[in-house]
Amino acid sequence: MQLHHSKHHAAYVNNLNVAEEKYKEALAKGDVTAQVSLQPALKFNGGGHINHTIFWTNLSPNGGGEPKGELMEAIKRDFGSFANFKEKLTTLSVGVQGSGWGWLGFNKEQGRLQVTACSNQDPLQGTTGLVPLLGIDVWEHAYYLQYKNVRPDYLKAIWNVINWENVSSRYAACKK
**Rounded-to-integer distance, Cα 158 and Cα 152, Å:** 10
**Rounded-to-integer distance, Cα 141 and Cα 9, Å:** 10
**Rounded-to-integer distance, Cα 73 and Cα 92, Å:** 22
To the question of whether residue 153 is assigned a binding role by annotation, the answer is no
**Could you tell me if 104 and 167 are in contact, meaning their C-beta atoms sit under 8 angstroms apart?**
yes
To the question of whether residue 137 is assigned a binding role by annotation, the answer is yes
**Rounded-to-integer distance, Cα 65 and Cα 86, Å:** 11
To the question of whether residue 5 is assigned a binding role by annotation, the answer is no
**Rounded-to-integer distance, Cα 48 and Cα 37, Å:** 18
To the question of whether residue 52 is assigned a binding role by annotation, the answer is yes
Question: How many distinct helices (H) and strands (E) make up the chain?
Answer: 9, 3
Binding site: which residues? 4, 52, 137, 141
Q: Can you say which residues are annotated as belonging to the binding site for Mn(2+)? A: 4, 52, 137, 141
